[in-house]
Amino acid sequence: MMETGKKLENGEIQEDNPASPDASRSAGELAEILTTGPGGLSTAEVQRRLQKYGYNDIPEEKKHPLLKFLGYFWGPIPWMIEIAALLSAVIQHWEDFGIIFLMLLINAAVGFFQEHKAENAIELLKQRLALNARVLRDGKWQEIPARGLVPGDTVHIRLGDIVPGDVRLTHGKYLLLDESALTGESLPVEKKDGDDAYSGSIVWQGEMDAIVTGTGAKTFFGRTTSLLREKPPRSHFQQAVVRIGNYLIILAVSLVSLVFIVSMIRGESIPDTLLFALILIVAAIPTALPAVLTVSLAVGAVALAKREAIVSRLSAIEELAGMDILCSDKTGTITKNSIRVADVKTFPGITEDEVIAAAAFSSAKESNDPIDKAIFARSSSTGTKGVPAAGYTVTDFVPFDPVPKYSKATVRDGSGGTFEVAKGAPQAISGLAVPGDEQRARLDGWVLELAEKGYRALAVGRTDPGGAWQYLGLIGLFDPPRDDSAATITEAKRLGVDVKMVTGDHIAIAKEIAGKVGLGTRILPQSAFIGGEGKDALKQLEDADGFAQVFPENKYQIVKILQEGDHIVGMTGDGVNDAPALRAADSGIAVAGATDAAKSAADIVLTKPGLSVILDAIHESRMIFRRMENYAVYRIAETVRVLIFLALCILLLNFYPVTAVMIVVLAIINDIPIMLIAYDNAVAAARPVRWQMNRILTLASILGILGVAESFLLLWLAREYFHLSPGIVQSLIFVKLAVAGHLTIYLARTGKQHFWEPPLPTLSLFGATELTAILGTSFAIFGIFMQSIGLAFALLVWGYALFFFMINDAVKVRLFSRIHPYS
């Protein structure tokens, strides 16, 4: 063991010397905090200390709502709108100025409101992911939210926990802590009685009691505020949306610059042309894009939470939608995690009760471990900890450690003599009680016999009066498959997700359970793929139905090899040693009952056991992805429809088909319904989904070009056939662009289906779409911001738009059936 508070680096022992958690407290105050009775703090004392020290959380710097609202007037897009408003004021186009200023206010108000709703939703999800702590109060151990801890509380910290505050260790053998998040050092640090441990450290080994010395901002972690400013990496989804935005901006700037140059050559008014150009760019740029992104992901996260899957990183929703391989834990995910003792194998001269008694002595009731629970359940009828005779006392206990793979205890009998007991993996106990050839052969036979029944072998050993270890026998533990596992795995395969079992159990156990749930029996032992590289290793892992006898580091290796094969990989886990694999996976999933360390490393935390929760989350995430894909198709198609039509009219016909005010009004009434696409009904794809920008651009561009052709036909009819005045023509074109643009939402949202086929739009989306289209039409009917065209012309344009909408829908269905890769 390393010396207390030190770590090994480059072969030398280095001092572990972060700032003391007690540096900000006086000696008297620290002495008061550390003076805690044997029963912990009382409820009254806790309340007093809460008043004095506050809650155990780090206050976030929250921006004042007014400053946040004003922030919507700052940035490239708001600047362009503001310049357009300023230009309209300079040339005294006060009507234009009023409309443009109104657009600025509406964009800011809608964005502020939607972001506020999204932040509230995310805050509620954070509360559900809040850490808990085991604390001694009023003489009883209880589990409370870590936020409620106060200095002086007695807490119990064990393997997999995140230390909930700065603490002084008081009772137990040792802790091995990962302090890399605090000190930047990758090697774990050993701590013993009297040492300080820091909030945010992860317990890798050991189990101890401690007294809380610092909470909230008074902790070492709390004072290291720079750790809280880490910016998460941009997700694939965010990158795709940014690419869409850049594409539209480049298209808009290029066409508008061409229009501006041609207008200058024609000798038109520079201020008027510049104002029109700026407004055209504003209308083409996706001003609602940030709000649509935030709201869609936040609404999706809330929907996932209702399905018992809490998202800790919003961008993980996209990875979950594209996941094609899920590496799933066996225990608690495929099986019930309801372990019971199914069989006991004993060596000659040893009784079953002796084996159970030794196993019970090397277990701890307060650990809440399912194996320990099964042992105590079997031993409950034979006295305390399974010992028939009274007078036995556990004087020392070492909890289970995943490295040596056993737990151990020292027991004093009624006569004052002592002996040691241990339980753990058969090979681990073989390292203590070295078996002879005959005993080893019998052990191997027992392990195989139990494994073929689907039982996990738990070995038990004990020291004799001379202190030598002896093997007592094996306990067969059975964890039956969940009732829904087989149906869930079948459904996962239908959704294009290849589920692979990952377990540390014997290969025979894995094959037995995998066969029962329909996974298949191509199970690879850890020895078959360890050290594998390249295409051969990838093919081996792709073809396997699962992996057995796996160590935690092998999970990480499995994830990395599969990712190199262009798979989007999900990994479930629950222990501290699963954290590297969970962090490396595209979708790290902490299962129900996972340790705090696993939860902190995962992207998604399940609050209900079983694979079915993961499938629910996949289904929901694919619907979210489809909504965002629909938004991309709509936004690109609408920009092409409006921008190319206006640019061609100006360049080829020297005619402005709409005024600057009309463009602003169009931008306003288009942004309102598109915000509600986050709440729309959507079809979940039958296979994993990924962004395919070429396909999206092709579909959207074809829909947009069809719209350009319709608009040109209407323009020709109005000017050349009916010989209408320019003002009337502009109003007609405005109504057509407004109505047809809103109908494009229905074209984009239904994919390869006709617009009347389910899923139908939600009432909120349908209502907002139709009401804003009617609002825009009423402006043209009553001559608001434009020349009046009356009801008759307005109805004719609606009929015209609906007629071509039906044609476009038929074209779209044929296109989507050929181009769209998802069913």
Burial 206-245 (b: 16+ CB within 10 A, else e): bbbbbbbbbbbbbbbbbbbeeeeeeeeeebebbebbeebb
Q: Tokens at residue 391, please?
A: 């007078």
Q: Are strands 196-197 and 166-178 parallel, antiparallel or unpaired?
A: antiparallel
- 476/450 Cα distance (integer angstroms): 6
Q: Which residue has the tokens 């996974």?
A: 519
Q: Tokens at residue 60, please?
A: 């976030």
Q: Are strands 498-502 and 325-329 parallel, antiparallel or unpaired?
A: parallel
Q: How far is CA 388 from the centre of its chain?
A: 50
Nearest to 222 by CA among 58, 21, 56: 58
- 28/497 Cα distance (integer angstroms): 60
- 546/513 Cα distance (integer angstroms): 11
Sequence-distant (≥ 6) Cβ neighbours of residue 801 within 8 angstroms: 710, 736, 739, 740, 743
Nearest to 360 by CA among 404, 369, 480, 478: 369
From the number of C-beta atoms within 10 Å of its C-beta (0-12, 13-18, 19+), residue 414 rates as exposed
Residues 742 and 707 sit within 8 Å (Cβ to Cβ) = no
DSSP at 652? I
Strand order in the sheet with 393-401: 340-346, 469-478, 455-463, 418-424, 406-412, 393-401
Sequence-distant (≥ 6) Cβ neighbours of residue 26 within 8 angstroms: none
- 104/29 Cα distance (integer angstroms): 55
Sequence-distant (≥ 6) Cβ neighbours of residue 747 within 8 angstroms: 634, 637, 703, 755, 805, 808, 809, 812
DSSP at 365? G
Q: Tokens at residue 438, please?
A: 């005959």
- 66/760 Cα distance (integer angstroms): 38
C-alpha gyration radius of the chain: 34
- N-to-C CA span, the chain: 58
CB atoms within 10 A of CB 444: 12
Helix/strand/coil (H/E/C) assignment for every residue in 99-139: HHHHHHHHHHHHHHHHHHHHHHHHHHHHHHCCCEEEEEECC
What is the maximum alpha-carbon separation in the chain?
A: 116
- 800/423 Cα distance (integer angstroms): 80
Sequence-distant (≥ 6) Cβ neighbours of residue 141 within 8 angstroms: 134, 135, 156, 366
Residues 559 and 571 sit within 8 Å (Cβ to Cβ) = yes
Residues 337 and 593 sit within 8 Å (Cβ to Cβ) = yes
DSSP at 333? I
Catalytic residue (one of 329, 372, 603, 671): 329
Tell me if residue 329 is catalytic: yes
In total, the chain counts a number of residues equal to: 823
Helix/strand/coil (H/E/C) assignment for every residue in 252-319: HHHHHHHHHHHHHHCCCCHHHHHHHHHHHHHHHCCCCHHHHHHHHHHHHHHHHHHCCEEECCCCHHHH
Helices 236-265 and 693-716 meet at what angle, rounded to 10? 30
Catalytic residue numbers, as ranges: 329
